[in-house]
A and B are shown apart, each in its own frame.
Chain A
Amino acid sequence: MNYRAIWAIYTSEMMRTGRTLAQSIVSPVISTALYFVVFGAAIGSRITDIDGVSYVAFIVPGLIMLTLLTQSVMNASFGIYFPRFIGTIYELLSAPVSFLEIVIGFVGAAASKSIILGLIILATSALFVPLHIAHPFWMIVFLLLTSITFSLLGFIIGIWADGFEKLQIIPLLIITPLTFLGGTFYSTSVLPPLWQKIALANPVVYLISGFRWSFYEISDVHIGVSVAMTLVFLAICLAITGWIFKTGYKLKN
C-alpha cells in the first residue's frame, strides 16, 4: 500500500477546502441556518410536535443528512473531475498508485469534509434547539456510512461526467429531490398509504429515518432495515467503483 500517495491526495484535497472555505463550509452552514429559521422558527412554530418531538428539533437530523448527501457527492465528484478536466490526472495515472489508493484519497477527503460539515451543522443546530442524541454511536455510524457511500457515488459521477453539466445533473436532478422527498422535513407516516409505499423505494428515506432514530428513537422504518439498506447502497457503489478499477473506464484510453 502506497500510504504516502493516499496522504498526498488526501491533504491536497483537504487544502482545497481550506482555500475555498466560504464555498465549502460557510455557505452550507448559512443555508442550513436559513432552513432552521424558515422551517423551524417561522413555519415550524405553527406545526404541532411529531411523535413528541418539536418540529424544529425533528428536522435537525434531516438537515444534517441533506448537507451530508449533497456535500459528499459534490466534493468527491469535483475532486476527481477537476484533475480530469485540467489534465493533471496524468500524474495520478503515471504514479505508482493503485486505483484503490486513489479512491481512498479522494473519497476519504470528501467524506472527511462532509463529516466535519455535518458536525458543524449539528453544533449550529444547538443554537436553535436543545440537542438530544439518544444513540451517539449509531449517529456516528450513520454519519460515517452515509458520507462514505455518497462520496463513492460522487467519485463515480466525477469519473462518468465529461462536462460540468453532467457533473451537476445527478446532484441537482436526483440527489436533491430524493433528499427532500426522503423525509427531511416530514415523517413519511404523514403521507397517504400509497405514497408511503412509493417512498420506500427512495434510499434516502432509510438514511434519514435511521439517523433520526439515533437522535430521538423515532423512525419511519426499523433501524435494522435502515442499516441494511445503507450497507446495500454502499455495496452497490463499491461494486461500480470496482468495475471502474478493472476496466479503467473513462480514465485510460
Chain B
Amino acid sequence: MPSIISVKDLSKTYASGFQALKPITLDIEKGEIFALLGPNGAGKTTLISIICGIVTPSTGVITVGGHDIIKDYRAARAMIGLVPQEIMAAPFDTVWATVSMSRGLFNKPKNPAYLEKVLKDLTLWDKRDSRIVTLSGGMKRRVLIAKALSHEPQILFLDEPTAGVDVELRKDMWDVVRALRASGVTIILTTHYIEEAEEMADRVGVINKGEIILVEQKADLMRKLGKKVLTLHLQQKLDALPAGVETAGLKLGASGHELVYEYDTQRERTGIGTLLTTLNNAGIRVRDLQTTQTSLEDIFVGLVSDRT
C-alpha cells in the first residue's frame, strides 16, 4: 500500500519546555483504518494537531498525499477532515449553516445534495435548521463529523470520536466510518474504547510519553502478543491438581470444577494435546471446553505498563 501520510523525525517541544513528542517517524497507508492508542497525555492529539496544521512542529517533515504540510499547506489540508476531541461548534449557527461554512472554508463549491446525504447518514437532516446550542451532546458530535465530511476529505482524523456518546450514536458512527473506508477514505482514529480499535482497525500504533512504541498490523499484533486461555470444565470437582498433571501454565479454577491453561499461540507446540492425553490417563473427565484470546486492551495495558 502506498503511504498517504508520511511523518519523518517529527518532534514537538512547547514554549514551556515540555516535550510532547520525541522524534517520531510514521507512515499511514492509503485506504487503511489506523488506530492510535495511548494513555492520556501520550501525545495523540498533539500528533494529529500538527498533521492538520493547528500546532507548529518543532522539527521534522510531514507530507500528506505528497504535499508538505507547511510549504504546500493548501493541498495538504484540502485532503483532511478533522473531528476534534472536544465538542467545538459555533453555538448559535444552524446545522446547515455550519456545515455549509466548513465546505466553503475548504474551497469547495456549493453542493446541497452532498450535504443532504451527509446529514441524512448522520441522522441530522431533521435538525438542519436547529441551532447547535439546542442539540444534545451526541447530536453535537454528529455535527462535528458532518463538518469534517462536508468537503469530501480523502483522509479523516477522528480524535476520540466516541468518548461520552451513547451506544446508538457509536453504532451509527462506525457505520459511517465503514462506508467511508469502503469508498477509499483513509481513517486515523484515537480511541479509549480499545474494543473498537480491535474491531475496526487494520493497523494499530501505540504511543506513550511522546514516543511511538510500536506500529503493527492489528492481526499480527494480536497473534504476536496475544495469549490464549483454554478453560476445561470438569465432570468432577478437584481439590488440587493431581500429581503428574502439573505443567507450566495450568491452574485449577477456584471452584475446583475447571482447569485453566494459558498458552502461547506462537509456539510450535502449544501443549494442548499432551495436556488432554495426560488428563485422560489420570481419569479426569472433561465435560466442556472453551478458548479465549487476549484482547487488544490487555496487550495495550501490557505494553504501556512495561514502559512506565
* Measured CA separation A16–B88 after assembly (Å): 17
Q: How far is the CA of A98 from the CA of B73 in the complex (A)?
A: 9
Asked if A245 is an interface residue, CB under 8 A from chain B, the answer is no
Q: Report whether over half of chain A's contact residues are helix, strand or loop; otherwise say mixed.
A: helix
Which bracket fits the contact residues of B? 35 or more
Enumerate chain A residues within 8 angstroms of B88, measured Cβ to Cβ: 86-88, 90
Q: At the interface with chain A, which of B104-112, B171-179, B217-225, B275-283?
A: B104-112
- B109/A94 in contact, CB under 8 A: no
Nearest B residue to A7 via CB reads B104
Q: Within the complex, what minimum Cβ distance (angstroms) separates B286 from chain A?
A: 58
Most chain B Cβ neighbours within 10 Å, of A7, A19, A88, A252 = A88
Residues of B within 8 A of A98 (CB): 74
Q: Given known contacts A248-B56, A252-B56, is B82 in contact with A94 (CB within 8 Å)?
A: yes
B113 at the interface (CB under 8 A from A): no
- Taking a contact as CB atoms under 8 Å apart, the answer to whether B54 and A9 are in contact is no
B74 partner residues in chain A, CB cutoff 8 A:
2, 96, 98
Task: Say yes or no: A8-B80 contact (C-beta < 8 A), given A16-B92, A248-B56.
Answer: no
A-side contacts of B97, CB under 8 Å:
12, 15
Cβ proximity bits B12-38 to A, threshold 8 Å, 1 near / 0 not: 001100000000000000000000000
Query: Which residue of the partner chain B has the closest CB to A8?
Result: B104
CB–CB A87/B86 < 8 A: yes
The answer to whether A90 touches B84, judged by C-beta atoms less than 8 angstroms apart, is yes
Chain A residues near B137 (CB, 8 Å)? none
Complex Cα distance, B109 from A5, in Å, reads 10
A-B contacts besides A87-B88, A252-B56, 17 pairs, CB < 8 Å:
A2-B74, A4-B107, A5-B106, A8-B101, A8-B103, A9-B101, A11-B101, A12-B97, A15-B93, A15-B97, A88-B88, A88-B89, A90-B88, A94-B52, A94-B53, A94-B82, A253-B56
A interface residue numbers (CB < 8 A to B): 2, 4-5, 7-9, 11-12, 15-16, 19, 83, 86-88, 90-98, 248, 252-253
